[in-house]
Amino acid sequence: MRKQRLLLASSAALLSGLMTLPLQADTLRIAIMGEPASLDPHKISGTWENDVVGDLFEGLVTEAADGERIPGVAESWEISDDGTEYTFELRDDARWSDGEVVTAEDFVYAFQRILNPATAADYAYLLYPVKNAETVYEGDADPETLGIEAVDDHTLKITLERSTPYFLDQLSHYTAYPVPKHVVEEHGDDWSRADHMVSNGPFKLERWRSQTRIEVSRNDQFHDADEVALDEVVYFPIEERTTALNRFRADEIDVARDFPTQQYDWLQENLPDATTTAPFLGIYYYTLNTRDGHPTADPRVREALSLAVRREVITNQILGTGEEPAYSFVPPGVNRYDAPQSSMADMSQEERMARAKELLAEAGYGPDDPLELNLRYNTSEDHRKVAIAIGAMWEPLGVEVELNNSEVAVHYEDMRQGDFDVGRAGWIGDYNDAQNFLSLLETGVANNYGAYSNEKFDALMDQASETQDLDERADIMAEAEKLALDETATLPIYYYVSRNLVNPDLQGWENNIEDIHRSRWVSFDD
């Protein structure tokens, strides 16, 4: 790399005749929290992959520094009155990094590819709002029947199953990125490897050494390339948070996308300018098994358990990196939505405990017949601490908790089979809309581990999805959430925060609820 940079610098210097002033390449070095499974936007599902792929590609819509959605490849769009037809005008100057024009056909090709069952894209369901997407994915319809059409090279029409208010937001997600048809058709699945990849975003892929580093450089074909300050970005996959911190302290990286929570006090004292936390679009909760035969099938038991959990103790004393206690299932700060709070939020601790004891007694549990629970969590230091604390908080109610931990794959397998009373779970929003969270509580949904089922809740969610007026839609969803909270469908514990270490010399880094940071907005102080 160094050699290449020298070459770049010297040839530029030769050209300009300024031999004495070699160009200084601005390189941003980011520690991402895992090795990407792939750089093909159709084959990924992790936030660390988003960090890289989001710098390489640009969707119809894209994210500004503060996370707001701004036009990307699409210059403008029109939405039909019933909200089901979107017509996008693509910019004339959108180019792939090999100089080819980005056309509407590239988007059609990409949508058909990700939803093609043969691609086996595990995140394809995010595009289900598109007409026929689900039937195509299930293999029951031809990809050609998908509701996306290239009217001409620069006009793209997308038809939806029904009006979907968050659809524009979703178009900035990597599942909706274009892929270069001419390259994918030539190289097949190998197209995303460094020697073939062509992308349309602010940066283009230079090199990928697995488990070591991914190097990208500014894509001069990008329509906004003049405004991109960085010459290169290097991503280091580092899973160990402590290693990332050490490398940050040794000035080997400029940004670490997470830090070890147990070091937070030290960081605040020693690196206050570099340490940032911000509300994040995610909820940490316990799912309560409502299947027959589990004590938690009784809503009184569920409510009692929820009442006894002192969330403030968990956020302040156990975690302590700015997490907020959760009294709703949808985190605050979600677009177009105000989450209702559980009624217990206003009760004092004494009132809560008194009420909890009453409820348990009503449900038939007492000193002679103690409530025995099986609490499952996936192996992690923080999960363990939270589980132990909550077990202790339930003890005054006479609850006997058996803690079971297992590695992640086993944990979710057990959860799926319903082999638990109380199980740890978490959800990070796929897109910034309350529906993404609340749909986890609909009957028969894959991630509804506790098998919560309420006809009225389902009906409200259906009604919300048919409602076009955004305020009205929000009210209906809030009504549904209130219902779920009243029945203690789950036990929300805290809202996640995002944690980053950011070199104070960096400009343009802004915290946002989705924790999305595109390198095109970032620059170094001179």
Partner 1 sequence: MLHYIAKRLLQAIPTLLIVITVSFFLMHLAPGGPFDGERQLPAEIEANLLASYNLDQPIWKQYLIYLGNLLQGDFGPSFRYEDFSVTELIGQGFPVSLELGMWAILLALAVGLPLGIIAALRRNSSIDYLVMGTALAGIAIPNFVIAPLMALVFGVFLAWLPVGGWNDGHWRNMLLPVVALSIQQIAYIARMMRASMIEVLGSQHIRTARAKGLSEREVIWRHAMRPAMLPVVSYLGPAAAGIITGSVVIEQIFGIPGIGRYFVQAALNRDYTLVMGTVVFYGALIVLLNLIVDLIYSALDPQIRYDD
| Residue 326 Cα distances to 134, 247, 272, 385, angstroms | 33, 34, 27, 17
Q: Choose, by CB under 8 A, the member of 21, 345, 408, 470 that binds partner 1.
A: 408
Residue 95: CB atoms within 10 Å: 19
Backbone angles phi, psi at 181, to 5 degrees: -55, -45
412 touches partner 1 (CB under 8 A): yes
Stretch that binds partner 1, among 15-23, 133-141, 494-502, 506-514 (CB under 8 A): 133-141
Stretch that binds partner 1, among 115-123, 286-294, 493-501, 502-510 (CB under 8 A): 115-123
Are 63 and 518 in contact, with CB atoms under 8 Å apart? yes
User: Which residue, 157 or 213, is less far from partner 1 as judged by CB?
Assistant: 213
Residues of span 263-322 touching partner 1 by CB under 8 A: none
Stretch that binds partner 1, among 9-17, 20-28, 420-428, 469-477 (CB under 8 A): 420-428
Instruction: Residue count of the chain, please give it.
Output: 526
53 touches partner 1 (CB under 8 A): no
3 touches partner 1 (CB under 8 A): no
Q: Choose, by CB under 8 A, the member of 21, 37, 151, 459 that binds partner 1.
A: 37
DSSP at 318: I
212 touches partner 1 (CB under 8 A): yes
Are 488 and 307 in contact, with CB atoms under 8 Å apart? no
> What is the separation, in whole angstroms, between the first and last Cα of the chain?
23
CA angle, residues 319, 320, 324, in degrees to nearest 5: 90
Residues contacting residue 421 through CB under 8 Å, at least 6 positions apart: 288, 289, 294, 295, 296, 373, 374, 375
Residue 191: CB atoms within 10 Å: 19
User: Which residue, 28 or 90, is less far from partner 1 as judged by CB?
Assistant: 28
Task: Give the shortest CB-137-to-partner 1 separation in angstroms.
Answer: 6
Across the chain, which distance is largest between two alpha carbons, in Å? 91
Q: Choose, by CB under 8 A, the member of 155, 243, 380, 439 that binds partner 1.
A: 243
Helix runs in 332-486, H state only: 349-362, 381-394, 408-416, 434-438, 455-466, 470-486
109 touches partner 1 (CB under 8 A): no
Residues of span 455-484 touching partner 1 by CB under 8 A: none
Query: What residues does 209 pair with on adjacent strands?
Result: 213
Task: Give the shortest CB-254-to-partner 1 separation in angstroms.
Answer: 14
Cβ neighbourhood burial of 175 (10 Å; 0-12, 13-18, 19+): buried
454 touches partner 1 (CB under 8 A): no
20 touches partner 1 (CB under 8 A): no
Element (H, E) at 505: none
193 touches partner 1 (CB under 8 A): yes
User: Which residue, 86 or 203, is less far from partner 1 as judged by CB?
Assistant: 203
Task: Give the shortest CB-303-to-partner 1 separation in angstroms.
Answer: 26
Q: Choose, by CB under 8 A, the member of 19, 250, 292, 471 that binds partner 1.
A: 250
376 touches partner 1 (CB under 8 A): no
206 touches partner 1 (CB under 8 A): no
6 touches partner 1 (CB under 8 A): no
186 touches partner 1 (CB under 8 A): no
Pairwise CA distance, residues 129 & 126, whole Å: 8
Q: Give SS3 for 456.
A: helix
438 touches partner 1 (CB under 8 A): no
Task: Give the shortest CB-6-to-partner 1 separation in angstroms.
Answer: 17
Pairwise CA distance, residues 383 & 387, whole Å: 6
Please report, to the nearest 10 degrees, the dihedral formed by the alpha carbons of residues 413, 414, 417, 418 taken in order.
-140
426 touches partner 1 (CB under 8 A): yes
User: Which residue, 449 or 452, is less far from partner 1 as judged by CB?
Assistant: 449
120 touches partner 1 (CB under 8 A): yes
Stretch that binds partner 1, among 116-124, 161-169, 172-180, 271-279 (CB under 8 A): 116-124
User: Which residue, 282 or 295, is less far from partner 1 as judged by CB?
Assistant: 282
Pairwise CA distance, residues 31 & 500, whole Å: 10
Q: How many residues of this chain bind partner 1 (CB under 8 A)?
A: 52
Are 55 and 518 in contact, with CB atoms under 8 Å apart? yes
| Residue 304 Cα distances to 299, 320, 399, angstroms | 9, 25, 10
Q: Choose, by CB under 8 A, the member of 5, 69, 187, 249 that binds partner 1.
A: 249
280 Cα distance to chain centroid: 9
Backbone angles phi, psi at 420, to 5 degrees: -170, 165
Pairwise CA distance, residues 27 & 289, whole Å: 50
Q: Choose, by CB under 8 A, the member of 252, 312, 362, 372 that binds partner 1.
A: 252
Q: Choose, by CB under 8 A, the member of 4, 27, 159, 246 that binds partner 1.
A: 246
Q: Choose, by CB under 8 A, the member of 14, 66, 80, 209 that binds partner 1.
A: 209
Q: Choose, by CB under 8 A, the member of 25, 28, 30, 43 that binds partner 1.
A: 43
Q: Choose, by CB under 8 A, the member of 4, 27, 38, 405 that binds partner 1.
A: 38
Stretch that binds partner 1, among 64-72, 135-143, 359-367, 503-511 (CB under 8 A): 135-143
Task: At 444, list the tokens.
Answer: 């028969």
Element (H, E) at 280: strand 275-288
Binding site for partner 1 (CB under 8 A): 35-40, 43, 45, 117-118, 120-122, 124-125, 137-139, 192-193, 208-213, 236, 238-240, 242-243, 246-247, 249-250, 252, 407-414, 416, 425-427, 446-447, 449
